[in-house]
Amino acid sequence: MAPPPLPGVLSDLAPLLDHWGYLAVAVLVFIEDFGVPVPGETVMTAAAVYAGAGRLNIVAVAVIAFLAAVAGDNVGYAIGRYGGHRLVVRYGRYVMLTEERLAKAQAFFARHGGKVVTVARFIEGLRQVNGIIAGLSEMPWRRFLAFNALGAALWVGAWVTLGYFAGQHLETIYPAIQRYELYLLGALAVVIAVLLARRFCRRRRERAGHR
């Protein structure tokens, strides 16, 4: 009996994993980690779900994702270290790295150093530019490599473990997701609306304060 289909957005990645398998995980995680906006984290999680459902090997998924994540961040480090600020600003807009975003990330990095490299993988946006910022800040490469490897191990371990156990119970989880999908979407819409309203009110207060 064939396993049930993957739920939600993961189903969109099924053809990619069916055709390319581990290579899809390696390539997408690798290029996401030096700034290219591709769904590396999502495809890694989907691959772990596949492994839980018996379609891939979980150890292979974890090892490949870890090596790709470390290598990708090291490419980003090299870009920042040897390409310099001018190169990053000139071409950064093609990977959603504007000068304003770069300045904010550098300021945050300067305050927190190695801790940022470790936790950056769990923060969307910072995950993609973390290596570049470390290189621009001239963080010693060995120190960067140690924190980078630790962060990659925690990040891969968390999402692969979650995906694997979800895949093992997919026949139970999938019908539940289908049953409550509309409620989940409604709750998500409410959360987004609240966040947008808070942001709008904050901007209005800031503008009023500048008058």
Domain match, 141 and 175 both: no
Is 3 inside any structural domain? no
- pLDDT (tens digit per residue) in 24-38: 899 999 998 887 878
Is 59 inside any structural domain? yes
Is 200 inside any structural domain? yes
Is 195 inside any structural domain? yes
Q: Element (H or E) spanning 121, and its range?
A: none
Domain match, 164 and 176 both: no
Q: Cα 35 from chain centroid?
A: 10
Is 4 inside any structural domain? no
- pLDDT (tens digit per residue) in 114-125: 777 888 788 877
Domain residues for 106?
Answer: 9-168
Domain match, 108 and 204 both: no
Domain match, 115 and 176 both: no
Is 55 inside any structural domain? yes
For residues 55 and 151, what is the distance between their CA atoms, to the nearest angstrom? 27
Q: How many domains does the chain have?
A: 2
Domain match, 211 and 114 both: no
For residues 135 and 80, the answer to whether their CB atoms sit within 8 Å is: yes
- pLDDT (tens digit per residue) in 59-95: 999 999 999 999 999 998 998 888 777 776 676 666 5
Alpha-carbon distances of 84 from 78, 114, 132, 133, 156, rounded to whole Å: 9, 20, 9, 10, 29
Q: pLDDT at residue 1 above 50? A: no
3-state secondary structure at position 113: coil
For residues 131 and 73, the answer to whether their CB atoms sit within 8 Å is: yes
Domain match, 46 and 140 both: yes
3-state secondary structure at position 166: helix
Give the highest mean pLDDT range of 86-95, 128-137, 165-174. 128-137
Is 84 inside any structural domain? yes
pTM: 0.70
Domain match, 100 and 185 both: no
